[in-house]
């Protein structure tokens, strides 16, 4: 059963005829759900009570038919029997292709004299047409179009089930003039763009759904950019749309009109008076237009299609204070900033880098911690990263400036729901970002792997670091997890035990296993020393998993770890104590000591596992 219309009465008490509810006298027929939008009735006992007769027939008269006539459902003496017969006849003929019957005579009926403009507006209100207008973009059915057009097109009132209240006009309401409509109230197929322009109805068509489609599909490029400055089409478009700033901005913020304005911008003549006026109109209220869900599209297309000198000057009207944070973090305006970053030269948006990287303000954190702002920062990093082995002076300077602010806040960024994507973007980047990847791993992640692996968002950053770390840092990261923490003095658990059964840490273990597998099968080609280390770590992991196999098999993550190891058929996993005996410098070690020293095998003293509490918390004040 469909959920109830929130505007419908909650019980039968609102209806004079208590057996009537939801448009059916005796309830809905079997096998058919309630259609709350198909019919709403409210009959009053007196015209002076303020509750008038309300009738909202279906928009699409071919949608279906009611199973039985609705005779006898009206008890009010204000409705004549002729009107009841007319309404029932309309319902019984819903499957025909005939046009809707005329209800306009009801206003001339002495008995029904209370049916004024507001009641006629009700026949074309949102409850009348909203459901089916979303299904069909061109179908608009109204009763006696010539009588009702002037009334409901200028109405500022809408009625719900209980009252008549002031409301914003329905944006889906037909705004087309009567000359452009056929006998059914639809847009006539013979209407052309030139006819619209010559009759001066360009703005009306642009703000209507069907009319806007007509303008977009048939707007002739050749007619618009003719060199003849007195061309009728170009002159009227300039006069009706571009010349008046108020009309232009209203179209920019209109849900349909903005698409026509985009079309005008795309087809405008380069460096023409039209483009100059478009730029001036947008610059007059640029921050507000950027925040508007419709106008932001016009601003983006203007930045891309206008003459470079005009579009670049438009950027100068972006705010330089804290208002830019609102624009960067807004659902709509962030796309404008990204378009600026992608299309404008660096010198035009250098002020954004300076604003983000200010050390005396928390601007970077405020933007990175927003779900839209984090994408702006990622785009900025992409545009400041020159191709590999190429260093562009200004790009490199600004990249170092921004990265300095990011590295200083790396721990906070990595642990945030949205800011962690910025750190991941740097770790997986190429070119100049590879240098900063090493900096982030060395300065921020090493010595914090255990604690960050147990955090919901930071664990993603650790996974990305394992995947893209250079061999030398990768060895240090593996060594920290396996041997970098002294086991807990009471439980004897080390970092590997903790992460194996942690809800987030197990994903880090899976990534480490994937890396070991890639080294073993030759997908990652390292030196002999490094390959031996990964093989031994893989064996140690296999021994630990085999020891805890029964516990791991209870969890889906544990099953994945077991499957990875089984895929390599590790039949003789190495015990931890045997592995320690095989380390460089230990008795029985077969590796060349000189090669080992060149491989930078020396490690710092291990961390104490007693500093963490196995609940995802860790003391950051320990030494390496």
Q: What is the pLDDT of residue 201?
A: 86
Least confident of 81-95, 273-287, 378-392, 476-490: 81-95
CA dihedral 10, 13, 18, 22 (to 10 degrees): -20
Confidence of residue 547 (pLDDT cuts 50, 70, 90): confident
Least confident of 148-152, 181-185, 230-234, 443-447: 148-152
Average pLDDT over residues 16-21: 40
Instruction: Please answer whether residues 373 and 328 qualify as being in contact, where contact means their C-beta atoms are separated by less than 8 angstroms.
Output: yes
User: How many alpha carbons lie under 13 Å from residue 21 in its C-beta half-sphere?
Assistant: 15
Confidence of residue 412 (pLDDT cuts 50, 70, 90): very high
Least confident of 96-100, 162-166, 443-447, 545-549: 162-166
> Which domains can be identified in the chain, with CATH numbers?
1-169 (no CATH), 175-317 (1.25.10.10), 342-445 (no CATH), 452-624 (1.25.10.10)
pLDDT: is 11 or 503 the higher one? 503
pLDDT: is 22 or 448 the higher one? 448
pLDDT tens-digit readout, 566-597 = 777 644 455 455 444 444 444 444 444 333 33
pLDDT tens-digit readout, 359-381 = 888 899 999 999 999 999 999 99
Q: What is the pLDDT of residue 139?
A: 36
**Prediction pTM value:** 0.64
Confidence of residue 234 (pLDDT cuts 50, 70, 90): confident
- Say yes or no to pLDDT of 22 above 50: no
Q: What is the pLDDT of residue 219?
A: 73
Here the tokens at position 195 are: 């006819």
- Say yes or no to pLDDT of 616 above 90: no
Q: What is the pLDDT of residue 545?
A: 85
How many angstroms separate the Cα of 37 from the Cα of each of 133, 136, 311? 12, 16, 47
Q: Percentage of the chain with pLDDT > 90? A: 37
- Other Cβ atoms less than 10 A from the Cβ of 573: the count is 19
pLDDT: is 92 or 580 the higher one? 92
Q: What is the pLDDT of residue 548?
A: 82
Q: What is the pLDDT of residue 614?
A: 38
Q: What is the pLDDT of residue 81?
A: 65
Confidence of residue 89 (pLDDT cuts 50, 70, 90): low
Element (H, E) at 48: none
- Say yes or no to pLDDT of 164 above 80: no
Mean pLDDT of the chain: 72
Confidence of residue 217 (pLDDT cuts 50, 70, 90): confident
- 577 burial (CB, 10 Å; 0-12 / 13-18 / 19+) is exposed
Confidence of residue 357 (pLDDT cuts 50, 70, 90): very high
Most confident option among 29-38, 355-364, 485-494: 355-364
Q: What is the pLDDT of residue 72?
A: 45
pLDDT tens-digit readout, 248-269 = 999 999 999 999 999 989 888 8
Q: What is the pLDDT of residue 238?
A: 82
Instruction: Please answer whether residues 349 and 340 qualify as being in contact, where contact means their C-beta atoms are separated by less than 8 angstroms.
Output: yes
Q: Whole-angstrom Cα distance, residue 456 to residue 50?
A: 58
């Amino acid at each position: 059963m469909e959920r109830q219309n929130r505007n419908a009465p909650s019980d039968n008490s609102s209806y004079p005829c208590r057996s009537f509810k939801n448009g059916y006298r005796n309830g809905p027929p079997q096998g058919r759900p309630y259609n709350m939008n198909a019919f709403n009735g409210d009959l009053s006992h007196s015209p002076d009570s303020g509750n008038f007769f309300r009738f909202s027939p279906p928009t699409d008269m071919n949608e279906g038919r009611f199973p039985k006539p609705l005779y006898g459902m009206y008890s009010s003496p204000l409705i004549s029997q002729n009107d009841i017969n007319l309404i029932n006849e309309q319902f019984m003929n819903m499957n025909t292709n005939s046009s809707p019957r005329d209800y306009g005579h009801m206003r001339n009926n002495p008995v029904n004299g209370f049916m004024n403009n507001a009641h006629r507006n009700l026949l074309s209100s949102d409850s009348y047409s909203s459901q089916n207008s979303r299904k069909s973009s061109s179908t608009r059915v109204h009763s006696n179009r010539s009588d009702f057009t002037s009334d409901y097109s200028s109405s500022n009132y809408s009625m719900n089930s209980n009252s008549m209240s002031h409301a914003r006009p329905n944006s889906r309401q037909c705004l087309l003039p009567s000359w452009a409509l056929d006998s059914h109230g639809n847009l006539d197929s013979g209407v052309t763009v030139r006819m619209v322009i010559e009759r001066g109805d360009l703005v009306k068509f642009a703000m209507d759904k069907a009319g806007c489609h007509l303008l977009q599909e048939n707007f002739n490029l050749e007619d618009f950019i003719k060199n003849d400055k007195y061309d009728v089409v170009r002159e009227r478009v300039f006069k009706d749309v571009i010349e008046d700033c108020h009309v232009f901005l209203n179209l920019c913020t209109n849900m349909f009109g903005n698409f026509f304005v985009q079309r005008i911008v795309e087809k405008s003549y380069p460096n023409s008076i039209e483009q100059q006026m478009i730029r001036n109109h947008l610059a007059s209220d640029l921050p507000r237009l950027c925040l508007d869900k419709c106008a932001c599209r016009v601003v983006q297309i203007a930045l891309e299609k206008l003459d470079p000198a005009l579009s670049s000057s438009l950027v100068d009207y972006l705010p330089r204070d804290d208002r830019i944070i609102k624009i960067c973090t807004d659902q709509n305006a962030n796309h404008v900033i990204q378009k600026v970053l992608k299309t404008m030269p660096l010198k035009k948006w250098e002020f954004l880098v300076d604003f983000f990287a200010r050390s005396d303000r928390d601007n970077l954190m405020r933007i990175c911690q927003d779900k839209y702002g984090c994408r702006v920062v990622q785009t900025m990093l992409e545009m400041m990263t020159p191709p590999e082995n190429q260093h562009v002076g200004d790009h490199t300077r600004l990249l170092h400036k921004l990265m300095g602010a990011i590295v200083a806040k790396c721990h906070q960024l990595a642990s945030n729901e949205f800011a962690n994507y910025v750190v991941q973007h740097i770790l997986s980047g190429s070119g100049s970002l590879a240098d900063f990847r090493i900096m982030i791993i060395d300065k921020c992640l090493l010595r914090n792997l255990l604690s960050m692996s147990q955090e919901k968002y930071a664990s993603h950053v650790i996974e990305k670091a394992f995947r893209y770390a250079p061999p030398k840092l990768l060895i240090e990261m593996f060594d920290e997890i396996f041997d970098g923490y002294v086991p807990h003095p009471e439980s004897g658990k080390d970092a590997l035990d903790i992460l194996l059964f942690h809800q987030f840490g197990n994903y880090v273990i899976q990534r480490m296993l994937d890396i070991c597998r890639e080294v073993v099968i030759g997908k990652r080609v390292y030196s002999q020393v490094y390959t031996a280390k990964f093989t031994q770590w893989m064996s140690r992991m296999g021994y630990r998993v085999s020891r805890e196999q029964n516990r791991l098999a209870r969890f889906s993550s544990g099953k994945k770890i077991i499957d990875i190891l089984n895929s390599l058929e590790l039949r003789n996993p190495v015990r931890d104590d045997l592995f320690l005996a095989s380390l460089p410098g230990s008795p029985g070690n077969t590796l060349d000591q000189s090669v080992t020293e060149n491989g930078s095998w020396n490690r710092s003293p291990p961390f104490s596992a007693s500093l963490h509490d196995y609940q995802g918390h860790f003391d950051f004040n320990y030494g390496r």
